[in-house]
Amino acid sequence: MRSNIRITSPLARLVSRAAQRRSFSATWGPQAQYGFIGLGQMGYNMARNLQSKLNSEDTLHIYDINTASAEKFVSETLRGSGASVKVATTVREAAENAETIISCLPEPSHVKAVFGQILAPPPMESSQVPSQDRLFIDCSTIDPASSKAVANHVHTLQQGKFVDAPMSGGVVGATAGTLTFMLGAPDALLSRVEPVLLKMGKKVLHCGAQGAGLSGKLANNYLLAINNIATAEAMNLGIKLGLDSKVLGNLINISTGRCWPSEVNNPVKDVVQGSPACRDYSGGFGISLMRKDLGLAIQAAGEAGARLELGGRAKDVYETAEQQEGCKGKDFSVVYRYLGGETPA
């Protein structure tokens, strides 16, 4: 049974506060308070896994500007086990009442806006959570510079600790709880952050100090963006030269051209069973997200002075393809269709 007991006498409040602090240091002790901001394609499923793996004494405070997501979450978790769920009416309320707050938002502007609201004066005051104990885990894919600016804001105002933990594994991984997180955090916070992330994923790669998770994520997604276009071009080339698509796919996948887009997400229908190409490029990793991540990687490269020869051209490809009928809203492997690639009957 879930308990929503409110303790009101001053002595009882003190006892309650002490219990909260104990629960913080023990991580999974009684009555831990969590916040989750951004219940979209990824966040919703991550929050579901987190909620189901927390204790029944714990509480998850959820918030999304789209109130329908929060309402759906409540109705789906009402009779199940795991933490109690409370819908916060503002983003600030979700943060103020929690020791651990996870955010999963689309772009840098959203993360800045959300933390602008959380950190707006007057400083947060909660009878239950001392601000030095508050931990913000941002799982959004944004640029490292924006993430560092938000972290700096949180730390300067002494409202908690802020770490970055972007993920890979897509909606499928978020639903199955098998995500890989790339963590940017000081060593001292690892033992606190890791158990939280492992409730939503299978692996945590500690990449270095705050911002390092995003640096790793953007470097990886830069490579993915280029490999995807190169795979589509190579498949198109071989097929136009007369090769059978499956013969060519197999050849590449046992040769030096092998990569994730050729082996797992091949852009040609029926080369890899279950790939988005087999279902008219629906589901998967949206072309607009790839364009966004590539743009962030190019921006970060500019700031770091890292020379990119292919990035600008690849960005043009995604931007143009994204506008075309038949490509809009599809998995990013739809670049093959944009190139005029033939789809086997």
Residues in contact with ligand NAD by CB under 6 A are 37-43, 63-66, 69, 91, 104-106, 110, 113-114, 140-141, 167-168, 170-171, 285, 289
Around 25, how many Cα atoms within 13 Å sit in the side-chain half-sphere? 5
Residue 139 near residue 42, CB atoms below 8 Å: yes
- Closest distance to ligand NAD from the beta carbon of 14 (Å): 34
Q: Report residue 251 as tokens.
A: 């050849």
Compute the Cα dihedral for 234, 237, 243, 245 and give only its sign. positive
- Closest distance to ligand NAD from the beta carbon of 339 (Å): 23
Strand intervals (E) in 21-175 = 33-37, 59-63, 84-87, 100-103, 135-138, 161-164, 167-168
The nearer residue to ligand NAD, 31 or 175, going by C-beta atoms, is: 175
- Closest distance to ligand NAD from the beta carbon of 108 (Å): 9
Strand intervals (E) in 2-150 = 33-37, 59-63, 84-87, 100-103, 135-138
The nearer residue to ligand NAD, 214 or 252, going by C-beta atoms, is: 214
338 alpha carbon, distance to own chain's centre: 28
Give the residue from 84, 80, 73, 49 showing the smallest Cα distance to 200: 49
- Closest distance to ligand NAD from the beta carbon of 55 (Å): 26
- Closest distance to ligand NAD from the beta carbon of 113 (Å): 5
The nearer residue to ligand NAD, 65 or 278, going by C-beta atoms, is: 65
- Closest distance to ligand NAD from the beta carbon of 19 (Å): 30
Q: Which helix (H) or strand (E) holds 221?
A: helix 212-240
In the numeric block, the tokens 């929050």 are attached to 47
The nearer residue to ligand NAD, 142 or 314, going by C-beta atoms, is: 142
Distance of CA 311 to CAs 230, 297, 318, Å? Answer: 12, 9, 11
Catalytic residue among 161, 217, 269, 292: 217
Give the residue from 169, 167, 176 showing the smallest Cα distance to 284: 169
The nearer residue to ligand NAD, 89 or 320, going by C-beta atoms, is: 89
Residue 86 near residue 78, CB atoms below 8 Å: no
The nearer residue to ligand NAD, 110 or 199, going by C-beta atoms, is: 110
127 alpha carbon, distance to own chain's centre: 30
Helix (H, G, I), strand (E, B) or coil at 136: strand
- Closest distance to ligand NAD from the beta carbon of 340 (Å): 26
**Residue 292 is a catalytic residue:** no
Distance of CA 259 to CAs 152, 231, 249, 272, 311, Å? Answer: 37, 8, 11, 13, 18
Which residue is closest to ligand NAD by CB?
Answer: 40
The nearer residue to ligand NAD, 83 or 174, going by C-beta atoms, is: 174
By annotation, the residues acting in catalysis are 217
